[in-house]
Amino acid sequence: MQFGIFSVSDITADPTTGRTPSEAEKIRDAVTIAKHAEDVGLDVYALGEHHNPPFWSSSPTTTLAYIAAQTERLIVSTATTLITTNDPVKIAEDFAMLQHLSGGRVDLMLGRGNTGPVYPWFGKDIRQGLPLALESYNLLHRLWREDVVDWEGKFRTPLQGFTSTPRPLDGVAPFVWHGSIRTPEIAEQAAYYGDGFFANNIFWPAEHYQRLIALYRQRYAHYGHGTPEQAIVGLGGQAFMRKNSQDAVNEFRPYFDNAPVYGHGPSMEDFTQMTPLTVGSPQQVIDRYAGMRDLFGDYQRQLFLMDHAGLPVKTVLEQLDLLGGEVVPVLRRELQHNRPAQTPDAPTHANLVTKAYPDGAPREARPNANRGDNLTVGSPYQDTAAPVGAAFGLGRKDA
């Protein structure tokens, strides 16, 4: 079981002081928070992707590479990688590179995003969001598993003899989570490929996510990846803690009331009743999240949203001290108790390599004669009868 935190990278004014931090501050704070997450014993730091104010994380792989260089065991991940507006070829390259640099301590969560204008910014049509997600991941999946790819689809230029570089570390692709708040087709997609499904259940009642997760588990088994209980499930969550529960309520209320995500909507009391947001003592958080297994079955990853809504970095670090020092050690024991032997462990690069190479001899990708020339179908330089340089007059005696 993995525990960690995720950030949506919002830049929000502190409602108690009126001060809004700068982008530079928030970027530095993210690194500080991620390093502290490792220090207190958490397993994962995940960062979202946004391309519009008031968010700063337009290039999560850059930030995660910097964090990976300053940590030793922390898994760095995305809380969303936009499969709809990012080119699958660039995703394949970026995350394979991050995989090598981090020693395999990386995975990613794919999503469609919830900001409509981002689609035309990257030349895409939001009305095609779901078909884009399905087609783009089909290509990404192949790029990591096939040394040479010929591909043609609806939404991007075809590829002929294309090799994505670098090849995945040890010949094993980064583990992929498909994140969804409401879309059954994404649960189906995760099941089809045998990937993980992350239900970011921070907004809607448990019954909604129970249906999505049940669908994913059923279809995971249907596609022959294992039993429903062996499907790989992750959950989102939220908490704010103080030793005294009323102190937590009083301190967090102005942040909740003014948060961009849910401020000026339901009361904090109603929201905590309807969703997993828990504001109170560490024991209250333990009790709430120990019960997630009863709602969703045994699962592999639990992430908490803590750095948001204008909370100062000092407060976020204090929350991590409570999470790592008092909450997670108990949850590890509680959620491991009576856990069936067939329930899979949380995915890591090491256990994916073991699964791929049970003989203990992983393959390190090396250049080979069958690798592609990375041609684009329809390229004016695609005439294989002459070197590409000849199109520019290179190599001629009179050049």
Residue 32 has pLDDT above 80, yes or no: yes
Joined tokens for residue 3: 């525990």
DSSP H or E stretch at residue 44: strand 44-47
Residue 239 domain-assigned (yes or no): yes
DSSP H or E stretch at residue 110: strand 107-111
What pLDDT digit, counting tens, does each position of 253-277 carry? 999 998 877 777 889 999 999 999 9
Percent with pLDDT over 70 in the chain = 87
Reported as a pLDDT band with limits 50, 70 and 90, residue 51 is: confident
Find the mean pLDDT for residues 183-189.
90
Residue 396 has pLDDT above 60, yes or no: no
What is the number of domains present in the chain?
1
Residue 304 domain-assigned (yes or no): yes
Find the mean pLDDT for residues 386-391.
37
User: DSSP string spanning 149-175?
Assistant: EEE--SSS--EEEE--SSPPGGG-PPE
* pLDDT at residue 372, as a whole number: 57
C-alpha closest to that of 306 among 9, 23, 2: 9
What pLDDT digit, counting tens, does each position of 283-324 carry? 999 999 999 999 999 999 999 999 999 999 999 999 999 999
Whether residue 157 contacts residue 376, with contact meaning beta carbons closer than 8 Å, is answered with yes
Q: Which of 68-72, 118-122, 150-154, 255-259 is the least confident region? A: 118-122
Q: Whole-prediction pTM value?
A: 0.89
* pLDDT at residue 148, as a whole number: 94
Residue 220 domain-assigned (yes or no): yes
* pLDDT at residue 4, as a whole number: 98
Mean pLDDT of the chain: 88
* pLDDT at residue 384, as a whole number: 40
Residue 397 domain-assigned (yes or no): no
DSSP H or E stretch at residue 6: strand 2-7
The phi and psi torsions of 172 (rounded to 5 degrees) equal -120, 120
What pLDDT digit, counting tens, does each position of 229-247 carry? 999 999 999 999 999 999 9
CATH for 109: 3.20.20.30
Find the mean pLDDT for residues 372-389.
45
Single-letter amino acid code for the residue at 204: W
Q: Which of 65-69, 83-87, 88-92, 386-390 is the least confident region? A: 386-390
What pLDDT digit, counting tens, does each position of 131-166 carry? 888 899 999 999 999 999 999 999 889 999 999 999
Residue 357 has pLDDT above 60, yes or no: yes
The phi and psi torsions of 49 (rounded to 5 degrees) equal -125, 125
* Segments of 200-256 assigned E as strands: 233-241
Residue 327 has pLDDT above 80, yes or no: yes
- Determine the distance from the C-alpha atom of residue 295 to the mean position of all C-alpha atoms in its chain, rounded to a whole number: 22
Find the mean pLDDT for residues 24-49.
96
Distance CA 3, CA 234 (A): 10
Q: Which residue is listed with tokens 């020339």?
A: 373
Whether residue 2 contacts residue 37, with contact meaning beta carbons closer than 8 Å, is answered with no
Distance CA 377, CA 241 (A): 56
Q: Which residues are CB-neighbours of 16 under 8 A, at least 6 positions away? A: 254, 255
Residue 378 domain-assigned (yes or no): yes
- Domain that residue 129 falls in: 2-392
* pLDDT at residue 368, as a whole number: 52
Single-letter amino acid code for the residue at 309: A
Residue 54: cis peptide before it, omega within 30 degrees of 0: yes
* pLDDT at residue 56, as a whole number: 78
Q: Residue 239: beta bridge partners? A: 278
* pLDDT at residue 387, as a whole number: 38
Residue 31 domain-assigned (yes or no): yes
Joined tokens for residue 200: 């970011």
* pLDDT at residue 54, as a whole number: 85
Find the mean pLDDT for residues 60-71.
96
Single-letter amino acid code for the residue at 291: G
Reported as a pLDDT band with limits 50, 70 and 90, residue 83 is: confident
Q: What is the DSSP letter of 279?
A: E
Distance CA 231, CA 224 (A): 11
- Determine the distance from the C-alpha atom of residue 362 to the mean position of all C-alpha atoms in its chain, rounded to a whole number: 25
Residue 218 has pLDDT above 80, yes or no: yes
* pLDDT at residue 84, as a whole number: 80
Q: Which residues are CB-neighbours of 224 under 8 A, at least 6 positions away? A: none
Find the mean pLDDT for residues 185-204.
90
Residue 392 has pLDDT above 60, yes or no: no
Q: Is 221 helix (H, G, I), strand (E, B) or coil?
A: helix
Residue 399 domain-assigned (yes or no): no
Residue 263 domain-assigned (yes or no): yes
